[in-house]
Amino acid sequence: MTSKEILEKIRLYCLQMPEVSERLSHGAPTFFVRKSKCFLMYNDNHHNVGWIAIWCAGSMEFQQAMIAQNPKAYFSPPYVGYRGWLGVRFDAGLEWEVIYNHLLEAYCAVAPQKLQAKLEPHVYATSSFS
């Protein structure tokens, strides 16, 4: 997939979640809950690292577990990694279902319970660490 196709798929998934908006932040497409709480950033070759990735809000415990499990797919992103955000690389061969679950988890890391309750029940049930 091209960078544009990946971003369009990320948009499709994120913008279906309750009260999500997108705007540029630090030059990258970034997704917010209620226009203020950032939960996901899209990065196309950030600082010339050579890959496309997303940075997802989350817990330090989950971040460390994912990096230990698959260091080729996951990393601690600059600037936000110290807060538990998880970097997810698109060149690591992860299935879209896995990526979608990371998007859901990032959303749930910042969205209020009332908004989380509005997620489709079958979709929310796939969430592994809410």
Note whether residue 51 is domain-resident.
yes
Encode 54-71: b = buried (16+ Cβ within 10 Å), e = exposed: bbbbbeeebbeebbeeee
Report d(CA 83, CA 57) in Å as an integer: 8
Residue 11 lies in a domain: yes
For residue 63, is it within any domain?
Answer: yes
Domain span at 48 = 3-124
Asked if residue 129 is part of any domain, the answer here is no
pLDDT tens sequence for the chain (130 residues) = 899 999 999 999 999 999 999 999 988 999 999 999 999 999 998 777 788 999 999 999 999 999 999 999 999 999 899 999 999 999 999 999 999 999 999 999 999 999 999 987 545 444 333 2
Angstrom distance (rounded) from CA 73 to CA 3: 17
Q: Has residue 130 been placed in a domain?
A: no
User: Any idea what the CATH number is for the domain that residue 101 is in?
Assistant: 3.90.1150.30
Tokens representing 67?
């990096």
What's the length of the chain? 130
User: For the chain, how many structural domains are there in total?
Assistant: 1
Does residue 52 fall inside a structural domain? yes
DSSP run (H or E) holding 97: helix 96-110
